[in-house]
Amino acid sequence: MAVEPEELDTMLRVLDKGHRELRDLGGDQPGVSFGKRSMRDLGLLDEDGAATDHEVLVTMYRNGRTVLDFQLDA
* pLDDT tens readout for residues 1-33: 455 555 555 557 888 899 888 777 777 666 777
CA pair distance 33, 56, nearest whole angstrom: 12
Angle at 38 between CA 35 and CA 43, to 5 degrees: 125
Q: What is the mean pLDDT of the chain?
A: 76
User: Of all residues in the chain, what percent carry a pLDDT higher than 70?
Assistant: 73
Alpha-helical (H) ranges within the chain are: 36-41
pTM: 0.64
Torsions phi, psi for 66 (to 5 deg)? -125, 130
What is the C-alpha separation between 4 and 37, in angstroms, rounded? 41
